Structures are given as C-alpha cells and as structure tokens.
Amino acid sequence: MLAAMNTFIIDSAEFNAETGEAKFNYRLGEHRFTERLELGVGFDLARAQSNSFAHLLDLAAAILGVSYYKLKAPKTIDLTTLNLSEADQILLRDIYENGLGEFYTRNKLKRFGQIDYQFAPAITPTNDLDWPQQSLVLIGGGKDSLVSVDLLTRANIPFTPFAVNPKGPIISSTDQIEQSPLFVRRHLSPTLFELNDQPGFYNGHVPSTAINSVVASLVAALYGYNEIILSNERSASEGNVEFDGREVNHQHSKSLDFEQLMETSFKAASGGQLGYFSLLRPFSEVRIGQLFARTQKFDQHFSSCNENFKQNQDGPKRWCTNCPKCHFVSLILAPFMEPQRLTDIVGKNVLNDATKLGAFRELSGLTGHKPWECVGEILEAAAALWHLAHQDHWQDAAIVKTLKPELDAFYGVPALESAWDELLRDANQHNVPEKYQLNEIARAS
C-alpha cells in the first residue's frame, strides 16, 4: 500500500454552471478526495464556458491540492490532466516547496528541489474573456484588509469586498463596509480529517493566501473583475528559520516574491488583464497600526486572532489574548492608542500582563525564533516595544518596563531608534499600480 502512495495525482476539475459548484478531485494511493467550492450563481453562462475560466479552474485544482498532498508528501506529483502555462508551472513549484516550507520544517521532511512534477506540455493560454475594470478586495477579518478598505474609501475608489469561508470577524467587519460583499464557501474533503486522525499521515501548515487568491481569480473570471487586491505588509517577506538549505517563511504566500509569481500566472491567463497586488506592501506592520488607529469604525468588529478562522468552529470570542497574533497586534496598535482603547478592542491589556514576558521576548528576538504566525519582523516588534517605553501612558506597563533594559542591552539604543524611524517610512519595493496614489492618501490625516 505504501508503494501506491508515492504519487499524488491531481485530476481535472468539474464545474456545474447551474449550481455554481466547482469540484476538485485528488488521489493518493487508495484514498480519494473531493474539495468543493460554492462560487454562487448569477454570472453570465458564457463566462463559465470560457477557455480563461477553464484554465483558472485547472490552476485552482493544482493549488488546492496542497491540503491533500501534505498527508504523505510523496516525491512525485502527477498534474498531467491539467492545462497549465509555463508561469503556472513555476508558481506551482514555489507553492509545493516554499509554500509548504513550514510543514516540511516541522515534520523534518526534505523536499526542496526533490519533487518530480509530472506536467503535460505547457500551454499558451488563450484569453477569451473581457475583464471589466472592477476590483475585489480580499477581507481577512483583521486590521490589514480594513486598512485597505479605509484607504480606498478615503480615495473614493469603488471595490467589492471578497472572502472565502466568511465567519465571525469577516462577517462583522464586512457589515461595516458600504459595498456588498461576494463570498465563496469552501468545503475541504471529509477524508482529509479522517486521515488526520490516523497514524502515519502528516499534518501541518498550508499556504492559505495562495488558496484564497486562486479562489478569488475564479470569481474574477466568472463575475468580471480585473483586479485582486490583497493587504499583505512588507514584513510578510521575512522568514522564520533556515531548513534544508532555504529560508522558511510561515507567511510565504504573503511575500512579495510570491505575489510576483502569482501575478505573472494571472496575467498570462487573462491576456495581461487580471492584476494582483498588495495595497499595503509599502508599509510596515507599525505603519499599518498607525493607519488603522485613524478610525474607530472597526474597533468592535475586527479580529486578528486566528482562533476565529478554524474550519469547524466560530471561535470562542474575537480575541483569545494568548496567541502570538493577539500579542503582536496589541504591540503595534499600542503606540497609536491609549491603553483603554486597546483594552476595549482586545478585551485585555496584554502589555501589562507579566505572565506574557516570555512571549514578548520571543516576538522581539530576545529569545528563540520568530513564532510560526503572522507577526511582523523581530526588529519591528523590538522597536515598537522600546518606543512604548518612551510614552507616558505605556512606560509603566509590566512588559514594557521589564523588557526596556533588555532591549537596550541586546540591540543598543541607536539601532532601536533608527528601526522605529524606518518603520514609519514607506518602502519602494511593491507592485501597487500608480493610479492608486497610495502614499498621498495614506499620509492625509
């Protein structure tokens, strides 16, 4: 039976234009998996019958496969039934290697450069769709996508909020947005969860942004949108650890390198018309915190805590207050808020909780490695913490007071000072189209 598990097979996808349901089929030895997407109804039938949509369905089949592939992570992947371009092939190698980098690292699996991808000859995609000038803004329920929403709203740029598997904070925050959202429901194969409980199968992290993005591309093709806008910050490009000769990044599919590969695939699939970029790429997390704090509109509706986004639950409350994201987001909002506002948002002033000293030492690079979570750069966390030590209403908070001398000794004052200044400057490395005039909008108070 093990021998039969040495190839992961990705079959072609099916789409029912009447129900709007897409099905993606996979094989691993004797096991069969079907993942379903409910893409809604109300699109023009001709769009569903286009070559461009069929091609993106094949790309989606290949990308959504990561969830099932990881059960055994065999060294051969058979994608011969799929029509994929050269750009898709490059993107897929990146997703199955770097996108699963954390999964390989934590399971001690060496796969970098060792996977045999069996592709059919590359196609040159023929675009037969128009791509109307409309934007989908991906909403994650947290501060980042809401900063994009706020920037676009301030600039009077119309957009449609979009989310995969909306729940909890995604719903409560999209409720605060004037434009009606588009939602897609995603159903993982139940066989995945059955096998997760059995010995001999691996489990771990998957590149969720790659997954949400390719689902967004299906919606763009079906309903007619020419831009997919993400809200990934510049620190998403920093890795966590070295493993098997590569830097491994928990947030790989939020990185700028990944964004460029995905954009190239989408452009190739759409005759150069489907854009894909992150509006927040010029910004540090600290800068995003500063921009978020400008409005209180979302304070009681958003959450950055990933406990909310598990497959089969709604999350106990918006913020668990115990995970690296609850800690980190408190840290980068604090410089721009008084303690009471932050406590009202998160439900607790974690910066005044001495039991969290270990967690903040890790976040700011004083011990261990950057947590496997969506948190900013370690120097960013260190500089934010150090900055708080110079603010009247934060300097006596337990974490701030205890860690200031440790930060001074570890990094030195000049490094922390210049890191803080740099965090508030916008970076030039991004793919934000000129027409968004982002910096000007962001600077306006």
Ligand X SMILES: CC(=O)N[C@H]1[C@@H](OP(=O)(O)OP(=O)(O)OC[C@H]2O[C@@H](n3ccc(=O)[nH]c3=O)[C@H](O)[C@@H]2O)O[C@H](CO)[C@@H](O)[C@@H]1O[C@H](C)C(=O)N[C@@H](C)C(=O)N[C@@H](CCC(=O)O)C(=O)O
List the single partner that 171 binds among ligand ATP, ligand X, none, CB under 5 to 8 Å by kind. none
67 binds ligand X (CB under 6 A): yes
Q: 218: closest CA among 430, 34, 64?
A: 64
Residue 275 has φ and ψ, to the nearest 5°, of: -90, 155
Distance CA 70, CA 45 (A): 35
Q: Specify the stretch interacting with ligand ATP by CB under 6 A; choose among 21-29, 56-64, 228-236, 351-359.
A: 228-236
CB of 306 to ligand X, least distance (A): 4
Give 325 or 387: the residue with its C-beta nearer to ligand ATP. 325
Give 84 or 374: the residue with its C-beta nearer to ligand ATP. 374
The footprint of ligand X on residues 224-253 (CB under 6 A) is 250-253
Distance CA 289, CA 283 (A): 10
> How many chain residues interact with ligand X (CB under 6 A)?
22
List the x/- string, 302-331, binding to ligand X by CB under 6 A: ----x--xxx--------------------
Helix, strand, coil share (%) of the chain residues, nearest 5:
45, 15, 40
Distance CA 282, CA 436 (A): 13
Q: Specify the stretch interacting with ligand ATP by CB under 6 A; choose among 36-44, 60-68, 160-168, 349-357.
A: 160-168
Q: 394: closest CA among 319, 333, 346?
A: 333
Figure out which of the listed residues 203, 264, 295, 391 binds ligand X, where binding follows CB under 6 A.
203
295 binds ligand ATP (CB under 6 A): no
Distance CA 374, CA 238 (A): 10
Q: 91: closest CA among 210, 245, 246?
A: 210
Alpha helix (H) ranges present in 133-200?
A: 143-154, 168-174, 190-196
Figure out which of the listed residues 274, 288, 374, 381 binds ligand X, where binding follows CB under 6 A.
374
CB of 333 to ligand ATP, least distance (A): 10
165 binds ligand ATP (CB under 6 A): yes
In sequence order, the 6+-apart residues with CB closer than 8 A to the CB of 72 are 5, 8, 28, 29, 201, 202
Site residues, ligand X (CB under 6 A):
67, 188, 192, 196, 203-209, 211, 250-254, 306, 309-311, 374
Site residues, ligand ATP (CB under 6 A):
138-145, 163-165, 170, 209, 212, 230-232, 254, 304, 329, 374
